[in-house]
Every structure is written in C-alpha cells, then in structure tokens.
Amino acid sequence: MTSAEPQRNDPRDVLGYLVKQAHLRLTARVDAALAPFGFDRRALGVLRVLIDDEPLSQQTVAGRLGVDPTTMVALIDGLEAAGTVTRTPDPSDRRRNAVALTAAGRDAYRTASAAFTAAEDEFLAPLSTQDAATFRRLLRILISDETATGTRP
C-alpha cells in the first residue's frame, strides 16, 4: 500500500480532515501574501467581482460571493474607508447602493491579485502543472450545483 492510499484507521487520513488542513494551509499562505496590501481574502473577492463588471449593487456582489448581506455591508464599509471602492445610491433603484472601484482600488486589486495568485501557486507547487489543473477541475466538480443537488450523472 502506498502513502497515497487511504489509511482507514488513521484519523488524519479522513477526507474532512485532509480538506480542512489543506484549506488552513492555503488560507494562511494567502493571508500572509495579502497582509501588506491591507486586504483579506474576502475583501479581495469583492474587488475581484467588481473589476470587470461594475458598478454592482451590494446585493449582487454578496450573491456572487455567497456572502451574507450583513457581512457584505461590513466588507464594503472597510473597502470604502480604505478608498478602494465608492458606494452611491443606484440611480435605477434608490433603495440599493451601487459599488464601484476607485482608481486606487483598481491598482490595489492588480497588485494584491498578483500576490494572491503567487500564494496559490506556491501552495500547489508540490503538484505538477497537470496535477494542479486536475485538482482544480475535480474540486469544481465536487462543489458544482449538479453534484450538490445529486443531479449529476
């Protein structure tokens, strides 16, 4: 039996443990890479949603990221205080706020995004390029809506 095969009696070889430990290692690496920019993963996610498709309502951004609307308000508050986004009443629906990147926000996104990508690449470095691509593809399958609802063949 190789070390890649599951050791059923080893609690460290349970899938949930392995996924959690991988997630913790990745997030620690990404957090360290983003710290110099004053961002965390969630804030960078907001900028990522806005970079190509702005302005958007806070509600739309929250939906795309799967973030609770109350949490989104706090994220936008922080980004607005940092000068990376602006929030204005949506002209088509004054009950909603439209969020857009500032010029500083666009610059911050570019540099922070590059650091984020480098951190992901470092995390995946023990894998071959092909294995890293396969790993991402398999994760997308596992979290796809079809898989979650049991409709995938």
Domain boundaries, the chain: 11-144
pLDDT band for 24, please (50, 70, 90 cuts).
Answer: very high
Contact 86, 18 (CB under 8 A): no
Q: Residue 2: pLDDT above 60?
A: no
Reported as a single tens digit per residue, the pLDDT across 88-126 is 988 788 888 899 999 999 999 999 999 999 999 999 999
Q: What SS3 class is residue 137?
A: helix
Looking at every residue in the chain, the average pLDDT score rounds to 89
pLDDT, tens digit, 9 for 90 and up, residues 49-74: 999 877 999 999 999 999 998 999 99
- Per-residue confidence (pLDDT) for residue 153, from 0 to 100: 44
Tell me the β-bridge partners of 99: 56, 87
Question: Is domain 11-144 classified as CATH 1.10.10.10?
Answer: yes
Buried-state track 28-63, b at ≥16 Cβ within 10 A, e below 16: ebbeebbeebebeeebbbbbbbbeeebbbbbebbbe
What angle, 0 to 180 degrees and rounded to 10, lies between the N-to-C axes of helices 15-34 and 103-124? 140
d(CA 78, CA 75): 5
